[in-house]
Amino acid sequence: MKQVTYNGLTFVPYIDRERIAARVNQIATEIKRDCPQGSIPLFICVLNGAFPFASDLFRAVDMDAEITFIRLKSYEGTGTTGVVKEVMGLSENLKDRRVIIIEDIIDTGNTIKRLIEDLKKQEPADIKVASLLFKPQAVQCNVAPDYVGFEIPTKFIIGYGLDLDGMARNLPDIYVLKESID
Ligand code: IMP
Ligand code: MG
């Protein structure tokens, strides 16, 4: 893995694909263990960033399950705008369903908080959150994911779904902004 450059910013290797894959499999095992026998959970992948994680996690969860997608956006460049826009809504009925939200990263927590509040209106049986990455020191609201791949410091990262203004989502490994670790 070499360093990569986007928009004049340099990123260095941070979490490689083997570590990601190993954690995804562990999370899948935990989710399966926690799901009551016979329930068919509905995974909700938060687009765009969570799609590689959702794809790997959903296939690793070896049980009957459904998946759907919602599109939210709150970031511009390397900072959050603080405003969460719902760009694409859900068509599924969540009443009495066991819902597992799949997120790429929880930073301030605003996105996931707003999403949980919205989904609760439909009275699901349960809502759990699986986030590949979690920045505990950046969280501004009272949210904690049920399943976390990696807890990381408050640094800007890209790859495996995470972007810088739309770029870098297709990197198979995760990189961190070099300036933030110097
Ligand atoms: P939050 O609402 O502040 O928790 O931000 C959540 C969203 O911001 C995530 O779903 C990402 O799309 C984006 N985000 C947060 N931190 C990063 C990062 O380090 N790199 C890329 N995107 C990020
Ligand atoms: Mg996201």
**DSSP secondary structure, 37-56, as one string:** TT---EEEEEETTTHHHHHH
Domain membership flag for residue 8: no
Q: Which domain holds residue 96?
A: 19-152
Q: Which atom of ligand 1 is nearest to the CA of 103?
A: 10
- pTM of the full structure: 0.92
- What are the DSSP calls for 146-175, one per residue? SEEEEE--S--EEBTTB-BTTBSTT-SSEE
Rounded CA-CA distance 157/107 in Å is 11
Annotated catalytic residue: which of 34, 62, 107, 118? Answer: 107
105 Cα: distance to centroid of ligand 2 (angstroms):
6
Domain membership flag for residue 40: yes
89 pLDDT band (50/70/90 cuts)? confident
pLDDT of residue 40: 96
pLDDT digits (tens, 9 = 90+) for 9-41: 999 999 999 999 999 999 999 999 999 989 999
135 pLDDT band (50/70/90 cuts)? very high
Q: Which of 23-37, 71-85, 89-103, 151-165 is predicted with the least confidence, judged by mean pLDDT?
A: 71-85
40: domain CATH number is 3.40.50.2020
Does residue 76 register a pLDDT over 80?
no
Rounded CA-CA distance 102/50 in Å is 6
Strand partners for 168:
none
Q: How many domains, in total, are found in the chain?
A: 1
Contact in structure between 3 and 178 (CB atoms under 8 Å): yes
Whether the upstream peptide bond of residue 110 has omega within 30° of 0, thus cis, is no
Q: How many CB atoms lie within 10 A of CB 119?
A: 18
Domain membership flag for residue 13: no
Domain membership flag for residue 36: yes
Domain membership flag for residue 96: yes
The residues lining ligand 1, judged by C-beta closer than 6 Å to any ligand atom, are 49, 74-75, 80, 103-111, 156-158, 162-163
pLDDT digits (tens, 9 = 90+) for 94-121: 999 999 999 999 999 988 998 898 899 8
CA distance readout (Å), 173 to 47, 55, 91, 133, 161? 18, 15, 32, 13, 9
Domain membership flag for residue 180: no
Domain membership flag for residue 107: yes
Domain membership flag for residue 87: yes
Query: In a 3-state reduction of DSSP, which class is residue 23?
Result: helix
Does residue 78 register a pLDDT over 80?
no
Active site residue 107: yes
Does residue 77 register a pLDDT over 80?
no
Q: Which two tokens stand for residue 173?
A: 């490994």
Does residue 74 register a pLDDT over 80?
no
Mean pLDDT of the chain: 91
The whole-number average pLDDT for the span 126-140 is 95
pLDDT of residue 85: 61
122 Cα: distance to centroid of ligand 2 (angstroms):
22
